[in-house]
Amino acid sequence: MGKNRMLRSLIMFFVFAFMVSVMGACSTSSNSSNGSENGARSEEKGGSLIIARLSDATRLDPHFITDIPSANIIYQKVYETLVVPNQDMEIEPLLATEWKQLDEITWEFSLKEGVKFHDGTPFNAEAVKVTFERVLDPETGSPQREKLSMIKEIEVLDEYTVRMHLDYPYAPLLSILASNEGSIISPKAIKENEESLSQHPVGTGPFIFESWNTGQDITLIKNPSYWGQEPNLEEVIFKVVPEDATRLALIETGEAHVSDQVPVTELDRIENSNSMSLYRTEGLGVEYIGFNVESKVVNDVRVRKAISHAIEREAILKGVYNKVGTLANSAMSPKVFGYSENIKAYEYDINKAKKFLKEAGYKDGLSLNLLTSDRKERINMAEVIQSQLKGIGVDVSIQVLEYGAYLEMIDKGDHDLFIGGWGNATGDGDYNQYNLFHTASQGPPGNHFYYSNEEVDNIIEKAREEMDQEKRKVLYEKAMQIQMDDAVYVPIRNYEHLAVYTKGVEGIWLNASNYIMLNDVTIK
């Protein structure tokens, strides 16, 4: 009996040990799926990321896109650039492995080998040449041409080496090549049907364009042959959801995963939520009230100064934007090279406002129109401006348009005032000054003020050629002071970019230009 009991005890011990071992293995497996790197990646890879957006894209051709919301769909997702800014906006290699500046006007780039476009076309020096020659060709009619107009010639040295010859020294060349305007397009797509690129982009990026249901959604799918690190997501769906409340509700319930257009009135709700997280980062852009200086109503600088003095900017930042962002003093953000704290916006002063209006011959007031897109905060700002200007006898008629229609309207110059913003895509003052204030940029390229000042044009041109960074700063400060003296715009706030996302989304971030970056995103 003793031997039998001992045998049974031994059997029970081994059974118990086996069960503990199995339970331990199960426990280890469970923990690894939550915390272990290998387990997390195997559990989290794949899935569809749904991004809820206020408006649809206007077009998907980087040579014709003039707004960041549209560029956000393709930038570093479908299309890639020779170089790319990292999270600190420092330039790093991408499709170019290295580069060197041979002299003030000559740059040479070595290209990555073995890369293919989504249509199977090899990426090489010829592809770079075809891309830039397209945007620079006046026959193309690209509104981005002026941004790259310093490039005189693209020389192919061999299959993977290209040399850029400039017309003049251009200090921020790498920064513009790293922006959406520098996207490299399939030469086959350009040759066979370049008009289709507006609806069907073809690049080298980690995601391939799948479909666009106008007014509803745009879908990208994972590139199975991507040359770089494989993305975790199987697909990304940009879903149009015009209503702020609906977008937030979709994130809260998990029906959508991310929105980079966050109602500032809902920050407390988001931060106190168990199912949502908030991402915040300083931006490169500035929001402003712009004057169309060619308008018959506001072409008198005294009228513009009157309106500038009548706008209580601090009240707008606090009341409309819930202090998201900081009070701007110019059209250039403190994070952009060339910014100067010495530029002073017009102070809120009703008496000065009335005085300038009277001097301009409008002692009994005047009427004008104010154009804005349909984003809730901008509509609210328009209503505040309407109320504030009523105090000096200015009757404001507000016109609210869907974002695409809004862009078409300001591109044509059919406005007196408009609420706008310039989300600097490079971090350099040239992208701000040349595109917003140079005569050559009037209309679609960015100068919706229709401002033209020969002295300012000369300063901006000199600044983009100046290789001494300190001298460039002095030039930009001089240009910005003249623009302020001419009362071209009323600066409101420096951007702070926001994104709301479900708790199960990890690895998402916005860069300072407000591009949503997806390469490292996973969904639990």
Give the list of residues 6+ apart from residue 458 with CB closer than 8 angstroms, or none: none
pLDDT at residue 37 above 60?
no
Read off the tokens for 142. Answer: 């690209």
Query: Exposed, middle or buried: residue 63 (CB in 10 Å: 0-12, 13-18, 19+)?
Result: buried
Instruction: Give the pLDDT confidence of 88-130 residue by residue, as tens digits.
Output: 889 999 999 999 999 999 999 999 999 999 999 999 999 999 9
**pLDDT class for 1, splitting at 50, 70, 90?**
very low
Whole-model pTM: value is: 0.82
Domains of the chain: 55-198 (3.90.76.10), 282-496 (3.10.105.10)
Label residues 68-83 b or e (16+ Cβ within 10 Å = b). bbbbbbbbbbbbbbbb
Q: Map 463-475 to HEC letters.
A: HHHCCCHHHHHHH
Instruction: Give the pLDDT confidence of 439-496 residue by residue, as tens digits.
Output: 999 999 999 999 999 999 999 999 999 999 999 999 999 999 999 999 999 999 999 9
Find the helix or strand (DSSP H, E) in which 41 lies: helix 37-44
How much is the pLDDT for 20?
34
- d(CA 118, CA 78) in angstroms, rounded, equals 9
**pLDDT class for 257, splitting at 50, 70, 90?**
very high
**pLDDT class for 424, splitting at 50, 70, 90?**
confident
Read off the pLDDT of each residue in 302-324 and give the average, rounded to a whole number: 97
Contact 215, 240 (CB under 8 A): yes
- What is each CA distance from 413 to 293, 294, 374, 455, in whole angstroms? 10, 8, 18, 23
